[in-house]
C-alpha cells in the first residue's frame, strides 16, 4: 500500500516507522520542512514537503497526524483530492466525522500511548482504537492498524472519550500525585527515586490482578488512626486530596464488603 503521511510530530514519527516495515511511505508533509525531511529520510521516503497544495493525489491511504486543533483546517484543504483512498486521523478527542467532507471512506486510528521523539517504543504492544464511516472503511483502517500492533479494538467517539478520561485518571492524575509525593519528600531533603522500587512493585502487581484487588495502605485497611495522623500533618490542597482519595478507597471497600 502507498501511504501519505500528514504531520511529522511524535505520533507520526513512531507510527510511520512501524508502517514502513510493511508499506511504502510515498510522501511526508509537515509545516516544518526540516521535520518532514527527517521523518521521510528515516522511512526511505523520496518526497518531503511543507506545501499542503502539493500533497500527492494517488496514494492508497492518507494518515493525518497533526495537532487536534489543526485537523479541521488540514481536512478542509485536502477535501476530495483523492476519493478512492482511505483517510484517517489519529486523535483520541476528535470525532470520526472530522473527515466527512474530505473523502468518502474515512475514520480514526487512535493509539493509546504517550510518544516522545527519542524514546524507543515497541509499537506492537500499543492498543489501537479504530472507527470508520463504513464497514469497508473500518476493514481498510484495521488492515493498516495490524502492521502496527495486534491489539486493535473498535471504539466510537463516546468510547474514545471514556478511554481518554480513564487514561487521565490512570496516568496524568497519578503523575500529579507523584509530584505531590516529590514535594513532601523534598521537605525532608529526600529524592523521589526512593519511591521508585515501591512504585514499580505497585505497577507490577497490575500485570496479574485488578487495581481493586491490589489496593493496600491505611484506607484499604480502614486504619483511621494512621489516616488521622497523616491528615493532621497536611494542610491545604494536600489535606483535601488525602481526605478525598482516602474516602474514595474507604467507600469502595465498604461497598465491596456489603
Which of 24/230 has CB closer to its own copies?
230
- Binding of residue 182 to its own copies (CB under 8 A): yes
Q: How far apart are CA 79 and CA 111, in angstroms?
A: 24
As measured in angstroms, the least distance from the Cβ of 24 to its own copies is 27
Which of 53/236 has CB closer to its own copies?
236
Identify residues 229-248 at the interface with its own copies (CB under 8 A): 229-230, 233-234, 237-238, 240-242, 244-245, 247-248
- Binding of residue 32 to its own copies (CB under 8 A): no
Size of the site for its own copies (CB under 8 A): 83
* CA atoms within 13 A of residue 250's CA, in its CB half-sphere: 12
Please identify which residue in 162, 222, 224, 254 interacts with its own copies, judged by CB under 8 A: 162
As measured in angstroms, the least distance from the Cβ of 102 to its own copies is 23
Which of 76/168 has CB closer to its own copies?
168
> Which one of 4-12, 99-107, 132-140, 178-186 is the stretch in contact with its own copies (CB under 8 A)?
178-186
Which of 53/197 has CB closer to its own copies?
197
Q: How far apart are CA 187 and CA 109, in angstroms?
A: 45
Q: Which of 246, 20, 18 is nearest to 124 (CA)?
A: 18
Which of 44/187 has CB closer to its own copies?
187
- H-helix segments, the chain: 10-19, 33-42, 71-77, 135-145, 157-167, 174-187, 196-205, 211-214, 218-221, 224-233, 236-257
Q: Measuring CA to CA, how many Å separate 81 from each of 25, 77, 84?
A: 18, 9, 9
Q: How far apart are CA 148 and CA 75, in angstroms?
A: 24
Q: How far apart are CA 121 and CA 118, in angstroms?
A: 9
Binding track, positions 186-225, relative to its own copies; x by CB under 8 A: -xx-x-x-xxxxxxxxxxxxxx--xxx-xxxxxxx-----
As measured in angstroms, the least distance from the Cβ of 46 to its own copies is 32
As measured in angstroms, the least distance from the Cβ of 164 to its own copies is 7
What are the beta bridge partners of residue 106?
A: 87
As measured in angstroms, the least distance from the Cβ of 98 to its own copies is 15
Parallel, antiparallel or unpaired: strands 86-89 and 24-29:
unpaired
C-alpha cell at 153: 479494538
Please identify which residue in 22, 146, 179, 254 interacts with its own copies, judged by CB under 8 A: 179
Q: Which of 90, 72, 75 is nearest to 8 (CA)?
A: 90
Which of 33/199 has CB closer to its own copies?
199
Identify residues 117-136 at the interface with its own copies (CB under 8 A): 119, 121, 125-127
Identify residues 59-98 at the interface with its own copies (CB under 8 A): 93
Amino acid at each position: 500500500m502507498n501511504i501519505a503521511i500528514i504531520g511529522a510530530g511524535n505520533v507520526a514519527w513512531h507510527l510511520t516507522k512501524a508502517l514502513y516495515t510493511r508499506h511504502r511511505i510515498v510522501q511526508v508533509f509537515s509545516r516544518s520542512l526540516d521535520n518532514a525531511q527527517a521523518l521521510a529520510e528515516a522511512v526511505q521516503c523520496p518526497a518531503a514537503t511543507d506545501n499542503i497544495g502539493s500533497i500527492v493525489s494517488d496514494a492508497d491511504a492518507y494518515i493525518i497526524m497533526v495537532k487536534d486543533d489543526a485537523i479541521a483546517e488540514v481536512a478542509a484543504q485536502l477535501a476530495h483530492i483523492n476519493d478512492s483512498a482511505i483517510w484517517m486521523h489519529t486523535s483520541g478527542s476528535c470525532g470520526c466525522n472530522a473527515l466527512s467532507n474530505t473523502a468518502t471512506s474515512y475514520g480514526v486510528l487512535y493509539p493509546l500511548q504517550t510518544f516522545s521523539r527519542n524514546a524507543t517504543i515497541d509499537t506492537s504492544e500499543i492498543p489501537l482504537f479504530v472507527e470508520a464511516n463504513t464497514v469497508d472503511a473500518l476493514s481498510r483502517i484495521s488492515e493498516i492498524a495490524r502492521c502496527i500492533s495486534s491489539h486493535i479494538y473498535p471504539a466510537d467517539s463516546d468510547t474514545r472519550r471514556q478511554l481518554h478520561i480513564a487514561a487521565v485518571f490512570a496516568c496524568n492524575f497519578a503523575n500529579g500525585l507523584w509530584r505531590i509525593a516529590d514535594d513532601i519528600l523534598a521537605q525532608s531533603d529526600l529524592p523521589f527515586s526512593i519511591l521508585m522500587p515501591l512504585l514499580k512493585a505497585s505497577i507490577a502487581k497490575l500485570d496479574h490482578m485488578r487495581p481493586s484487588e491490589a489496593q493496600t495502605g491505611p484506607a484499604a485497611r480502614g486504619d483511621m488512626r494512621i489516616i488521622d495522623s497523616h491528615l493532621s500533618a497536611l494542610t491545604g490542597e494536600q489535606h483535601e486530596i488525602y481526605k478525598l482519595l482516602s474516602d474514595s478507597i474507604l467507600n469502595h471497600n465498604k461497598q465491596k464488603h456489603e
